[in-house]
Copies of this chain bind each other. A is one copy, B any other.
């Protein structure tokens, strides 16, 4: 299924070329419309989720099943391992003997990259801390294609929690080859991290930073709203300050373009 035959892991959108993205979007469309029925032929994936997850884990389980494989969870990954003091290295090496593929979520940035370096089976990053969430980004690209009919030259705002929101990190990098105009809207303390902005600059991507949705709403094709993730704040007061800052309501939306869509990776909180 990979366009680039060298590619084995899915760790960061930085590793994925424009051609890869177009290929994935194309394959997804063919699967959804019944033109393609990939068969994993009973292959096994290990779900190593060192962080709680509802939707992501369930979506991998159902996806593997629908593709003719099976995803098996390392039960209570975090607790069990911590209890016995086992190292991530040993867990990965052992588990990789049993399966064909590792799908991993971790609160620690870079841990999926580490896994991909020590294992000789494919590793998929299902979210590593505040860093990357590439499968969500690929799904978002597919949703954008479905709703807009194209990926190029879109005006896209990313709103709210840009500092800790791994989905917007991955998505802005995914869009970088498609000449977007990106608007980053967030309170001062939750701005897009410098390393993401530097990466976009080096690729000559147009982006600008704003305080208020109202400044850009009328130009937008897509407003991508993220959740303020309480669990990534070390100071609860900091969370209380920002949690209700951006409320998307009808008055704000009165002059939007016809193409305008709101995207939200869930969960909605307020």
B-binding residues in A (CB < 8 A): 42, 44, 46, 52-55, 57-59, 61-63, 65-66, 70, 72-77, 79-81, 83-87, 90-91, 94-95, 98-99, 227, 230-231, 266-269
* A268 nearest CB neighbor, chain B only: B90
List residues of chain B with CB within 8 A of the CB of A83: 52, 231
| A58 and B74 within 8 A (CB) | yes
A99 vs B58: C-alpha distance when bound (angstroms): 10
* A54 nearest CB neighbor, chain B only: B80
Q: What are 16 residue pairs bridging A and B, where the CB atoms are less than 8 Å apart in the complex?
A: A46-B58, A52-B79, A52-B83, A53-B75, A54-B74, A54-B75, A54-B91, A58-B75, A62-B72, A62-B99, A81-B267, A84-B269, A86-B266, A86-B269, A87-B267, A90-B267
| B44 and A86 within 8 A (CB) | no
| B44 and A84 within 8 A (CB) | no
A76 vs B53: C-alpha distance when bound (angstroms): 9
A230 vs B55: C-alpha distance when bound (angstroms): 32
List residues of chain B with CB within 8 A of the CB of A44: 62, 65-66
A269 vs B62: C-alpha distance when bound (angstroms): 35
With contacts A83-B52, A90-B268, A269-B84 taken as known, whether A65 is within 8 angstroms of B58 at the C-beta atoms is no
List residues of chain B with CB within 8 A of the CB of A94: 55, 266
A31 vs B259: C-alpha distance when bound (angstroms): 53
* A47 nearest CB neighbor, chain B only: B75
List residues of chain B with CB within 8 A of the CB of A46: 58
| A65 and B72 within 8 A (CB) | yes
| B74 and A70 within 8 A (CB) | no
List of 3 A-B pairs having minimum Cβ-Cβ separation, nearest first: A86-B267, A62-B98, A85-B269
List residues of chain B with CB within 8 A of the CB of A90: 266-268
| A58 and B269 within 8 A (CB) | no
* A55 nearest CB neighbor, chain B only: B94
A63 vs B98: C-alpha distance when bound (angstroms): 8
| A61 and B72 within 8 A (CB) | yes
| A98 and B267 within 8 A (CB) | no
List residues of chain B with CB within 8 A of the CB of A57: 75
A63 vs B268: C-alpha distance when bound (angstroms): 34
List residues of chain B with CB within 8 A of the CB of A73: 75
